[in-house]
Amino acid sequence: MTEPTGGRPGAALELDHVSRWYGNVVAVNDISFGLGAGVTGLLGPNGAGKSTLLHLMAGLLAPSAGRVLVDGESAWRRPEMYRHLGLVPERETIHAYLTGLEFARLNARLQGVPDADAAAARAIATVDLTEAANRPIGTYSKGMRQRAKIAGALVHDPGILLLDEPFNGMDPRQRLHMMTLLRKMATEGRTILFSSHILEEVERLADSVLVVYAGRLAAAGDFRSIRRLMTDRPHTFTVSSSDDRALASALMADPSVFGAELVAGRVAIRTADYEAFTRALPRIAKAIEATLFEVAPTDDSLESVFSYLVRR
């Protein structure tokens, strides 16, 4: 299983204190990790630096500082490495005048695959695009374009596969099919890294996860331990009831709550134990005979989760 670690020797992909900046803007800030075989999810909100990281690993950006290694050698200015590496870019643009099959064949020929026609047909079948294979890509839906891009990246059977938001535009059936395919490829020993801003996608597919936020590596490792970190972080809620003052006072006596104050006609509550608090709240309200009108988490967005992981 993939286990992102700092500077792991023998890793297929390795970043060693990598930074990338554009003028005064730091897109990636001092990130180190190593990846081996398995599926790893690169999780972070939009603008976190996920694409920049993938482009650095794909040799499409030079690091401003640090080293990016693919199979132990620098990824920058080394076209030979693309014999073993496939990339599915996020940008939707793809040669609209080619059919899906022609696009896959073009990729196979450019890769120098011995039987390009057979390899292209195989890749198209793998991504379940055979029926539309002879239609121009310009007529494809977003999900079909994604699959054509994946076919183009698989055509030379790479050992390392980088996918930037690969499930964008896919319907649930296509998504499931693609997840099954990527899992199968990982069990065959390939190193697969995909980016997503959707926690559930990463949860369903990835063995391990890299969380990036504001260009920094917020967390790395086994998905369950990261998930636990996300759940166990301090949470804040606002509660509206028939007797806010009494409720705030009663809640402060509960060990799951470490802060309660009256703010703008509501009780703002801070808790370190999400589950214990959600169990305790109705019980306490009932005990003081207060009616709950509204309970709302105030920091449940992924942004706030990532922000917490960075600050941790």
Partner 1 sequence: MSVMAPLIDVTLRGLLGRRRTLLLILLVGLPVLIALLIRVSGGRPDADRILDTLVVRTVMPLVALILGTAAIGSEIEDGTAVYLMIKPIPRWKIALAKGLVAAGLTAVLVVPAVVVTGVLLGSGTDAMTAIVGFSVACLVGGSAYAMAFVALSAFTSRALLLGLAYTLIWEGVLSGLLEGTKFLSIRQATLGLAGALGVDVPGDPLVPMVSVAVLVVVLVGAFLLASWKLSRFEIRGGD
For partner 1, the binding residues (CB under 8 A) are 27, 46-52, 54-55, 58-62, 77, 79-83, 85-87, 89-91, 93-95, 97-98, 106-107, 109-112, 152, 164
Nearer to partner 1 among residue 6 and residue 45 (C-beta): 45
Nearer to partner 1 among residue 115 and residue 275 (C-beta): 115
CB of 75 to partner 1, least distance (A): 11
Nearer to partner 1 among residue 136 and residue 259 (C-beta): 136
CB of 60 to partner 1, least distance (A): 4
48 is written with which tokens?
């976190």
> Any idea what DSSP says for residue 291?
P
d(CA 230, CA 148): 35
- 3-state secondary structure (DSSP) of residue 96: coil
Nearer to partner 1 among residue 88 and residue 309 (C-beta): 88
Q: What share of the chain is helix, strand, coil (3-state, %, to 5)?
A: 40, 30, 30
Nearer to partner 1 among residue 86 and residue 159 (C-beta): 86
Nearer to partner 1 among residue 50 and residue 235 (C-beta): 50
CB of 99 to partner 1, least distance (A): 11
CB of 30 to partner 1, least distance (A): 18
133 is written with which tokens?
């294979």
Q: Give the orientation angle of helix 100-111 with respect to helix 142-154, to 10 degrees.
A: 20
- Nearest Cα residue to 233 out of 261, 203, 274: 274
CB of 198 to partner 1, least distance (A): 15
CB of 264 to partner 1, least distance (A): 35
d(CA 94, CA 309): 36
**Which long-range contacts link 176-183 to residues 24+ away (Cβ below 8 Å)?**
177/128, 178/127, 178/147, 178/150, 179/204, 179/205, 181/126, 181/127, 182/39, 183/39
CB of 180 to partner 1, least distance (A): 25
d(CA 39, CA 37): 7
Nearer to partner 1 among residue 83 and residue 245 (C-beta): 83
Measured CA angle at 259 (ends 253, 260), to 5 deg: 80
